[in-house]
């Protein structure tokens, strides 16, 4: 697959934390699920974290790095832990579609486990350590027969993913940044030919209007400060104004 026939999708990330309230320890496994139109180019398609224990904040910190390059896949997570009898059992499955917008993304992935078909099988599975699980973990990333699978939510994962896209513009795809519109500047309106105040029903804002005050002569100023004349209209001398 050459550069002229495909664009590249590069992801880098890690699992920041996990919350499973009723589980003392856990380890997380991830794998890639993608269709026939995608091809894995570089990086690992699966990984497994070390077993981690819950701290005072009731959160697990697997800190599992994720690095892969694809030429639109999904990340599939499988969580495992020990039960009361020391059996290593599945604690949750989850799937995360890779974001199509370049940049750093934080996603919360709900994790669930399949339920037993009957109460008796559930009790036997707890004693024997053989609880229901998917033969192919990538089943959670597909829609086939999902409606016929009964599941129970167990917890969630917090995943940070950094996405880099390359050569998508050559194939007619336009990507936008995570925040805002595309990188080009928005068109600016030309207001030079607009005559304010000439349109019907238009009134300029108060803060933009210039308030003009007519010039007052000295005589007019004196008349304004002069006391009112008495009712008998007898002329009286004006009071002297002190500087």
- 7-51 pLDDT, tens digit each: 778 888 889 899 988 888 899 999 988 888 888 888 888 899 988
Question: Is the sign of the CA dihedral 43, 45, 50, 54 positive or negative?
Answer: positive
12-21, 58-67, 166-175, 213-222: the lowest-pLDDT one: 213-222
Residue 11 lies in a domain: yes
* pLDDT of amino acid 221: 44
Contacts of 79 (CB under 8 A, 6+ apart): 18, 20, 26, 27, 28, 29, 90, 91, 92, 93, 94, 111, 154, 155, 157
**Confidence grade of residue 4 (pLDDT, cut at 50, 70, 90):** low
What is d(CA 122, CA 93) in angstroms, rounded to the nearest whole number? Answer: 18
Query: Mean pLDDT, to the nearest integer, of 62-71?
Result: 81
Residue 144 lies in a domain: yes
Q: How many domains in the chain?
A: 1
Q: Specify the higher pLDDT residue, 131 or 5.
A: 131
Q: pLDDT tens-digit profile of 89-138?
A: 889 999 998 887 888 999 999 999 988 888 888 888 888 878 888 888 88
* pLDDT of amino acid 106: 92
Q: Specify the higher pLDDT residue, 4 or 40.
A: 40
* pLDDT of amino acid 94: 92
Residue 191 lies in a domain: no
Domain that holds residue 66: 3-171
CATH of the domain at 19: 2.60.40.150
Query: Measured at the alpha carbon of residue 59, what is the angle toward residues 73 and 57, in degrees to the nearest 5?
Result: 150
Residue whose C-alpha is closest to residue 96's, from 110, 115, 85: 110
Distance of CA 214 to the CA centre of its chain: 59
* pLDDT of amino acid 107: 92
Say which residue the tokens 């995570």 belong to: 178
Average pLDDT, the chain: 74
Residue 106 lies in a domain: yes
Q: Is the pLDDT score of 156 beyond 60?
A: yes
Contacts of 130 (CB under 8 A, 6+ apart): 124
Q: Specify the higher pLDDT residue, 57 or 1.
A: 57
What is d(CA 75, CA 10) in angstroms, rounded to the nearest whole number? Answer: 13
Query: Mean pLDDT, to the nearest integer, of 156-164?
Result: 90
* pLDDT of amino acid 66: 87
Q: Is the pLDDT score of 177 beyond 90?
A: no
């Amino acid at each position: 697959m050459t550069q002229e026939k495909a664009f590249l999708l590069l992801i880098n990330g890690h699992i920041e934390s996990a919350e499973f309230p009723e589980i003392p320890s856990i380890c997380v496994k991830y794998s890639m699920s993608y269709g026939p139109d995608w091809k894995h180019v570089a990086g690992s398609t699966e990984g497994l974290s070390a077993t981690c224990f819950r701290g005072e904040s009731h959160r697990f910190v697997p800190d599992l790095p994720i690095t892969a390059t694809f030429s639109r896949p999904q990340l599939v997570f499988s969580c495992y832990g020990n039960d009361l009898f020391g059996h290593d059992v599945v604690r949750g499955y989850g799937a995360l579609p890779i974001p199509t917008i370049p940049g750093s993304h934080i996603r919360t992935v709900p994790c669930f486990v399949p339920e037993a078909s009957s109460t008796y099988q559930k009790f036997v599975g707890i004693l024997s350590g053989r609880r229901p699980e998917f033969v192919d973990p990538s089943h959670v990333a597909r829609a086939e027969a999902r409606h016929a699978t009964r599941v129970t939510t167990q917890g969630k994962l917090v995943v940070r993913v950094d996405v880099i896209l390359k050569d998508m513009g050559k194939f007619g795809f336009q990507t936008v940044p995570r925040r805002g519109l595309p990188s080009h500047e928005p068109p600016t309106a030309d207001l030079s030919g607009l005559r304010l105040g000439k349109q019907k029903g238009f009134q300029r804002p108060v803060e933009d209007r210039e308030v003009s005050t007519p010039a007052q002569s000295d005589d007019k100023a004196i008349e304004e400060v002069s006391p009112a004349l008495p009712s008998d209209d007898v002329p009286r001398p004006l009071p002297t104004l002190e500087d």
